[in-house]
Chains A and B, each alone.
Chain A
C-alpha cells in the first residue's frame, strides 16, 4: 500500500511539472492559436539564466528566481516581436514551423552561451522530508503542486473574469474584428507571450532540480506537457492541469503494476483512446458547429 501511495505522490509531483509547462503552452494557444513547440526550449533558457545568476553570480535563490522572471519578460516580448508578429498572417502550420525554427535558435544559442554541461540546481524549498506512515513527502513537491494550482487559478480568473481576459479571447478568435472593437491587439499578443514565457521560466526553474539544468532538460517534460494539454483539453486551464496530473500518476501506476518497458506504449495508447472517445479532451466542450 505504501508503494501505491508513494507512486501516486511522486506522480502528482511530476504531473504538476507537466501541468506547469502546459499552462504556458495553452495560454499562447488560446491567445494566438500558435502551438509553441519552442515553449520547452524557452523555459530551458530562462532556467539557465536563473542558474547562472545563482551559481555564477552567487545571487541568493529568490533573487536569481526573480532575475529569471525579469529576463523572461524581456525574452517573451522579443520573441513575439521579432518572430511571431511579422508572421501574424501566416497559416497555422506556418506558425508551427516558426516555433520549430525557434527551437533551433534558442537551443543553439543556449548551447553556445551556456555550454553543454548539465548542472544541478537546487530545489525551491529545502527542508526535511515528511514521513507519513511510510510515505515520504517532500516539502518541495507540495510547493510545486501548490504553485501549479495557484497559477492555474490565476489564469482562470484572468481569462474568464477580467476585461483583459475577454480581450485576449476575442483576439484569439478574430484578430481583425478585435481591432475593430478597439482592442490593442499587439499589446494583447505581447502580454500573452510574456506571461507564457514567465510561466515557462517558473516551470523550468522548478523542474531543474529534477532534470538538472542542461540544454536537453525540457525534452521529456515538454512532450508530456503537450499530451497533458490535449488530454485535459486546450479549452480551459484546469484541463491541462488535470491532464498533467493524470499522466504523471498513470505513468507511475502503469509502471508499478503493469510494465515498465511497455508503459510508454500503454500510456500513449490510452491517450489516443481517450481522444477518440472524447475528441476535445476530458474537459473540452464540444460545440455543435453551426452551419
Chain B
C-alpha cells in the first residue's frame, strides 16, 4: 500500500485513485445527442490540458488519468456516473462535472463521500454552499448578474436598463443577481418591471421581445442568455434597426460565438459588450490553442474549451500544492491555501468556507479590426463589493 508521512510524521495512506505514478480522476459531461456541442469541446479542453501536463512529465511525477462519463445531461445518468467513478472506478477526485441538472443531482453523493470535486461546468448558486469538498470555479450566474449591475451603473452610466433574460435557470439567475445588485447599490429604479423581458432558449423569433425592449428606450440592454438565442436577438436587432449598447454574459465571450453572431448582425454587433472572467489575450491562450491543435484538431476552441482547460488547471494547481500529501484531507487543505494566478483565470483562491469561485470579471467590447470582429478588454477585473 502506498503511503505518505503527514506533517506530524505519521503514516497516512494515499486516497483512492492515487498510485506512485498516477492520479486517477473522473469527469462527467454530455458527449452525445444535441447537447454534445457543449460537452465535446469542454472535455477536449480538459483532456488537452492533462495531455500537455502528462507529456511534460506529469504532476510531481504522476501522470493524470482521466475517466470520462457521458450523462446525456440527465440527472439519473449523472448520478449513476458519479457513483461509478467514486465507488467502482475509485477515482481520486471528480473534476469539471458539467451540466447543472447532473451536478445538483450528484451533490449529495459527492458531499456524503467527501471526495474533492473541482470545477463545475455550471453556474448553479447552490454550489457555493455545497460543502468543503466542493470547489466551484466559474462564476455563478447570480453573482455575474450582480456584477453586471455594478458595471451598468459605473461603466455604462445607465439610468435605465432592460434585461432580456433566457427563461430558464441561466437567465433567471442572472436577472435575480442583477436585481440584487441594483438593490444593494440602491438603484432599483434603473430596471422598471416592464424592462424584465423573457425569451425562450429555443425561440426563433424575438421580434416581440426586441420591440418591448425598444419601447423602454433604455441606456443599456442586458442580454442574459446563451449563444443560440443571443445571436438570434442580435439578428433581430439588426433587422429592426435597434442600436443600443448591450451587455451579455461571459458564456458568450468566445471567438466562435462572435464569428457566428457577427455575420447575422454586422451593424449592431459593435454595440455588444461581454462579461469575462478569463484573460483571453492571444498570449495566454497560446498553450490552449497549441494543445488543442495537437490533440483535438477538429474540435472548436470556444468558451467551453476554455472552461475545460481551466478545470484542468485548477485541479492540477491543487495537486501541486498538496505535494505528496494526496489524501482527500490533504488535497482539500492544499486547495484552501491556494492562490492560483498563472492560469487563464486572473485569480483562483479559496479559504475555508468560501466557495464563491471566480469573483473578478472584466467587460470587453466588440471591436472591428482589419475587417474581423474581436473582443477588446475595456475595464479592469473587478469584484462586486
Contacts and interface: CB of A to CB of B under 8 A. Distances in A.
Interface residues of A, number: 41
A221 interface: yes
Interface in A186-212: 207, 209-212
B171 to A, nearest CB: 11
Given A117-B37, A216-B34, A211 B200 contact: no
Interface stretch (B106-114, B205-213, B271-279, B367-375): B205-213
B41 A7 contact: no
Interface string B257-284: 0011101100000000000000000000
A219 interface: yes
Interface stretch (A9-17, A23-31, A71-79, A237-245): A9-17
Given A107-B34, A111-B36, A260 B198 contact: yes
Given A118-B228, A120-B263, A136-B239, A14 B36 contact: no
Given A116-B41, A120-B261, A252-B208, 12 more contacts: A10-B207, A11-B207, A111-B36, A115-B300, A117-B260, A129-B241, A210-B232, A211-B204, A212-B231, A220-B200, A248-B205, A252-B207
Nearest to A248: B205
Contacts of B37: 116-118, 214-216
A277 B256 CA distance: 48
A255 B209 contact: yes
Given A116-B41, A260-B199, A7 B231 contact: no
17 contacts: A6-B211, A14-B205, A115-B299, A116-B36, A116-B299, A118-B37, A118-B228, A120-B263, A136-B241, A209-B235, A210-B232, A212-B232, A219-B34, A221-B204, A255-B209, A260-B199, A260-B209
Interface of A: 3, 6-7, 9-11, 13-14, 17, 107-108, 111, 115-120, 122, 129, 136, 138, 207, 209-212, 214-216, 219-221, 248, 251-252, 255-256, 260-261, 264
B172 to A, nearest CB: 10
Contact of B205 (A119, A136, A209, A251): A251
**Secondary structure call for the B interface:** helix
Nearest to A118: B260
A7 B256 contact: no
B122 interface: no
A117 B256 contact: yes
Nearest to A140: B239
Nearest to B200: A264
A119 B232 contact: no
**Secondary structure call for the A interface:** helix
A193 B304 CA distance: 38
A129 B239 contact: yes
Given A138-B239, A212-B231, A252-B205, A120 B36 contact: no
B100 interface: no
B300 A3 contact: no
A126 to B, nearest CB: 12
Interface residues of B, number: 40
Nearest to A41: B34
Interface pairs A-B: 6 shortest CB-CB: A10-B207, A120-B263, A116-B37, A220-B202, A14-B205, A255-B208
B230 to A, nearest CB: 11
B197 interface: yes
Contacts of B241: 129, 136
A260 B206 CA distance: 11
B34 A215 contact: yes
A251 B240 CA distance: 19
Given A3-B211, A6-B211, A212 B197 contact: no
A69 B172 CA distance: 42
B198 A11 contact: no
Nearest to B41: A116
A250 B32 CA distance: 34
Contacts of A14: 204-205
Contacts of A115: 298-300
Contacts of B231: 118, 120, 212
B7 interface: no
Interface centre among B204, B231, B256, B299 (most CB of A within 10 A): B204
Nearest to A224: B204
Contacts of B167: 260-261
B260 A3 contact: no
A7 B33 CA distance: 34
Contact of B240 (A6, A214, A221, A248): A6
B203 A220 contact: yes
A118 B207 CA distance: 22
Interface string B21-51: 0000000000011101100110000000000
B227 interface: yes
